[in-house]
Every structure is written in C-alpha cells, then in structure tokens.
Homo-oligomer: A and B are copies of this chain.
Amino acid sequence: MTEPKSFHMTPEEFRRHGHAVVDWIADYHSQVESFPVLSRVQPGEIRSKLPAQAPERGESFEQILGDMERLILPGITHWQSPNFYAYFPSNASGPAILGDLLSAGLGVQGMLWSTSPACTEVETHVLDWLVAMLGLPEKFLSTGNGGGVIQDTASSGSLCALLAARERATEFASNRKGCDGRLAAYCSTQTHSSVEKAMKIAGLGADNLRAIEVDESFAMRPEALARQIDVDVKAGLIPCFVCATVGTTSSGAIDPVREIGGICGNLWLHVDAAMSGTAALCPEFRFVHDGVELADSYCFNPHKWMFTNFDCSVFYVADRKSLIQTLSVLPEYLRNQATESGAVIDYRDWHIPLGRRFRSLKLWFVIRHYGIEGLQHHVREHVRLAQEFVAWVSGDARFELAAPARLNLVCFRLRAGDQATQALMERLNASGDLYLTHTKLEGKFTLRLCVGQTNTQARHVERAWQRIQEETGRLGSS
C-alpha cells in the first residue's frame, strides 16, 4: 500500500527535531543570565525582518529553528533570567515545561469529563492537594461542596468570582434579564486593575466599584469598607462583592481578610493571592491566609511564583454550585451520559472558555519533582534574599523603603525624588544587567524589586544591589 501524499512531520522527524528544540531550550537556559534582560529593539524592528507574505512552499525545520536565534531572541525580554525583578515573576521550571510538552503532545480537550477523564480528575486531585499544602480551608476541597479549577489568569478568576457574586445577589436574574446598574462592589485603591476590568465586562459598570482607602501599609481599611457599604445600602444600591488582596501588585500589601470577612455578611468575598499565596507553602508565612476561611472564592497563580509555567492560575470556590449555575449552558451536542449521571465535574462550567488544555499535568509534575520540601526551600530562599535586600536599602541613607516588605517584593526609592528614581530605573534597565519596574505609592515614583524568578540566587541579588549603588553614584555626578 502506498502512503498518501503528506506534508505532516512524521513521528521520526518529530523525534529528531524535538531533540534539537529541547537542546535549544537547555542551551538558552544555560546562557540566559548573560543576555540583556530587557529587549533593546525598537517598535517595528522585529516585523521589518519578516517576509511580507506567508511562504507558498514549506520550509525546513532547521531553517525555522535557526530563525529563533536570528529573528526572535533580540526581541525577547528575558522573563526566565535570574536578573529579572520586574512586575511579578512568571517563573517556569524544567518539570513544568516538560509536563506542558506532554499536554501538547496528547492534545486532549478537557471541556467535559468524558472528553478525557484524566484531564479533569488529575486537575481536581492536584488542586485538592494544594488546599492542604497551602493551609487553605477545607471548604475549598472538591470532596465537599467546593472545588478548584485551573484558569488562565487571576483576571479571569476575579471575573468568575464577580459573576457568581452578581448571580447570587440577584437570584440568577441578571443572567436572564441583564444587569440594572444597582449592584455595587468593593476593592481597595491598591487592588489589581483586573477587578475594574471585570466590573466593565460583567455589566456592573466601573462607577459601581468602590476603591476603599488604605492604611499606611497600603492595606484596605475595614472600617472604611463598612462605612461605604452602609452609604451604598442607604442610597438604594445592592452591595454584592468584595475583593481582598493578599500581596498587592504595587507593594505586596496584605488586606486584613479576617476583618473584611467579618464585614461582608452575605457579600461574596474573593481573595486574590495571585503571587503571594505561594508563600503559604511555608508554615512561617501562612499568616497570608489568615481569615481566608471567610472567603467565598480564592485565587493564586502557580505560574507566578510556584515554578509552573504560564498559564496556571488556581481558582477555588466554597460553593461550586453557585459558580456552575452562573456559567453553565448545555447544548445538545455536549450532552453525554457521564454529565447526566451527575457523578463527574465538567470544567467547562467553571470558566469563560469552553475548550481547555490538560494544564494540571505541569502542576502535577512540579509538585512531584520538587516535593513540598523543595518548593518550600526555594520560596524561603527568595524571601530571605528579598529581606537581605531590604536590609541593604535600609542601611543606605540615599534610599528609603516605600512600603513594608513582608515577603519577596521590595518597594524603595531615592530620597532625591521622582526624577532621580526614574532615571535610576532607566539606567539600570538600559544596562541590561537587571530589569525592574515601577509603581507610584503616595504619589511618589517607586521602584519594585520582586525576587521570584526560578533561578535567582544570592549572587544575583548581591549584584543587583551593587549595580543599583553604582548607577546611583553616577546619577549624582551626571
């Protein structure tokens, strides 16, 4: 029998090219420390090197892979460099990358239990593991009324929480009839912008989001929250949702979840612990979860600080029925016996998209490769390095700390003011030796140094501080 004409890569070709790609990545990770962290290309520079039209005929894989070095690398800002301290980390690791590769190789859809039972059951199981690993309340376990699901990002988690809150408050009438502009929601002035975005998406309106004032540590003031809820109720609004943050993006502030939960009553309390939740792997940092048993939903991102490559945001609810009832639509073509038996989870009803990858494989691989012990070790080390950095900043009279640094995010600035601080950042980033980003705290330009990249070690943080001191010295003389 002659094989039909084919342009597909055969399994044997895949094996050969796959080894080359694995080698490319191993080499990249061996060298990444030596690259300028922030890409130096100008807008349009990468595009200008690409052909105007797609190729009519296929190209060799060697040629395609060769272009990674030639065309792509100059346009990369190296998030996997140990000298990356910007934003929040988006860290990765060998076991995560290989778990993700297996997920791509299997190429299954997990929208329904029946479309690949292992995809659903490993996810449910590993997220139950994490409840114990992080000291989260048992009500988030799938074995009770709750459960976890992997979403793409904490933004999507916040949106799902807000939607479930909206429906619970309106007895599912918003889903049917649409919103009426009377629901109000609450966060702090420091809450991530995704909550404002979610208010817009969910049809509640950004004007109905109250940004509650914060205290000197940039944490939400519970008494101000209580006051605002009262004002809104008296004005005829229906408060339905509060987002508390454990580790704000700007400064790592930790909202007082217990006090906020005491105020919430029947309002839906969502806790966003996108980066800082990972700290709870270590018992000594478990204070970050104080009061979380009062939350209706909770989110943290293993793709930030738990060595699991993007995307992997874990979202828990205490009452999965309210979430499922909010997001479920069941057309005939998705009906199946397993779903109708009620004995299975169909994760399509737990988030916005229908299709979904086998994302729990990489998380399962990470937890098994490191073990709890290994994860704790590296999280502890990152916090220790950040705290050393805090001590150095505190000991240099040219600098001031801009916020308490309780974990791995340090906010600091030059006493010389905004212009000097911004100039320092730009010089450091232009040097390529490290990359950090800024925020504003109390109106002042503030640098953020977040220690969380997988391979960041003492020598990198020491070198970062050395470079910061050097450039600060040059600023003075320029």
Contact = CB atoms under 8 A, between A and B. Distances in A.
A332 B365 CA distance: 36
Given A25-B101, A57-B371, A333-B448, 10 more contacts: A4-B457, A19-B19, A22-B22, A43-B343, A55-B368, A72-B122, A90-B107, A155-B354, A311-B355, A311-B357
A431 interface: no
Contacts of A30: 11
A175 B205 contact: yes
Contacts of A375: 7
A83 interface: no
A207 B175 CA distance: 8
B152 A353 contact: yes
A341 interface: yes
Given A64-B95, A76-B108, A18 B26 contact: yes
Interface in A222-241: none
A8 B93 contact: yes
Interface stretch (A46-54, A260-268, A463-471): A46-54
Interface stretch (A190-198, A291-299, A387-395, A398-406): A190-198
A287 interface: no
Contacts of A423: none
Nearest to A9: B94
Nearest to A22: B18
Interface residues of A, number: 171
Chain A's interface: helix, strand, loop or mixed, by majority?
helix
B310 A125 contact: no
Interface in A293-347: 303, 307, 309-311, 326-327, 329-336, 338, 341, 343-344
B72 A118 contact: yes
Contacts of A183: 178
B104 A332 contact: no
A10 to B, nearest CB: 8
- How many copies of the polypeptide does the oligomer hold? 2
Contacts of A116: 39, 75-77, 79
Interface in A139-179: 152-153, 155-156, 159, 163, 166, 174-179
A217 interface: no
A41 interface: yes
Contact of A132 (B53, B119, B365): B53
B77 A115 contact: yes
A298 B27 CA distance: 40
